[in-house]
Amino acid sequence: MKRLLLSIAAFLVSANALAFDHGYKAWDELLKKHVKYVQDANASRVDYTGFVKDRAQLKAVLDDYSKVTRSEFDSWTKPQQQAFLINAYNGFTVELILTKYPDLKSIRDLGSFVSKPWSKKFFRLFGQESYLDFIEHEMLRKEGVYDDPRVHVGVVCASIGCPMLRNEAFTPEKLDSQLDDAMKRFLSDRTRNRYDPQARKLEISKIFDWYGKDFEKGHKGFASVKGVMARYADQLADKPEDRALVKAEKADIAFLDYDWSLNDVKSSQ
């Protein structure tokens, strides 16, 4: 009897895993429809007005995310888990913006003196009321679980200063290449990351200041923020001598002010 019950439990876990769409077809279609690339496809803007019109479809996507149980999630591979958490973070972020859109200029308008928008409980995940910081800091960044600093170019805070929201869903099969591509695009955007030859200094996103320690854990060979910049020297600088300086990790670093303006298509018109 015990063996039979274990077999039934294993079957149910397998059936649930098969039922969930790890290809994220519905979310992918919404992103392709409402995310526009700008700045040589190294940044993007979101058509929130379009998302408003397709809010029923977005709600269906988010409802599917909310139906996932913790035991089902735990049965998935790490790439499946990471893709799910990143897509969920980005999808619920869009929904959070829509709760006040168009009457806001920044995601920070959704916070208050006592709480930030990322700690606002407005959706369900794993059977309980949840919030964006739970996904990012307590799941994706939890020590010893994924230890992948590239998450910072995957999750998007609906701001111009943050990495681009891709016009495609993250999927387990493509996750590694998608995150690599996201890093390259972010470091290629000279409005957010660049080498200043006059000052002989790297001017980079505050993300590398706030989460610098995440890039010191050795993932993908990253051992420091300067080491990350060295890998992307060709994106950050134009002249051979400047690229050589960045690759040698000899350039000083300054962090740029973060632009919290909403990443709305209207901001690029």
Q: Tell me what pLDDT residue 1 has.
A: 59
pLDDT digits (tens, 9 = 90+) for 238-256: 999 999 999 999 999 999 9
pTM: 0.91
Q: Tell me what pLDDT residue 17 has.
A: 47
Gap between the Cα atoms of 209 and 115, Å rounded = 22
Residue 5 domain-assigned (yes or no):
no
Residue 225 domain-assigned (yes or no):
yes
Residue 127 domain-assigned (yes or no):
yes
Which residue numbers in the chain have pLDDT < 50?
13-17
What one-character-per-residue DSSP string does 84-104 give?
Answer: HHHHHHHHHHHHHHHTTTTS-
Residue 8 domain-assigned (yes or no):
no
Q: Tell me what pLDDT residue 2 has.
A: 57
Residue 153 domain-assigned (yes or no):
yes
Residues of the domain holding 131: 15-268
Residue 9 domain-assigned (yes or no):
no
| Number of domains into which the chain is organized | 1
Task: Give rounded-to-5 percent helix, strand, coil for the chain.
Answer: 55, 10, 35
Calculate what percentage of the chain has a pLDDT beyond 90: 87
- Show the 3-state SS of 192-223: CCEEECCCCEEEECCHHHHCHHHHHCCHHHCC
Do 206 and 255 touch, CB atoms closer than 8 A? yes
Residue 3 domain-assigned (yes or no):
no
Q: Tell me what pLDDT residue 32 has.
A: 98
Residue 31 domain-assigned (yes or no):
yes
Do 249 and 92 touch, CB atoms closer than 8 A? no
Q: Tell me what pLDDT residue 8 has.
A: 55
Gap between the Cα atoms of 222 and 3, Å rounded = 46
- Show the 3-state SS of 130-149: ECHHHHHHHHHCCCCCCCCH
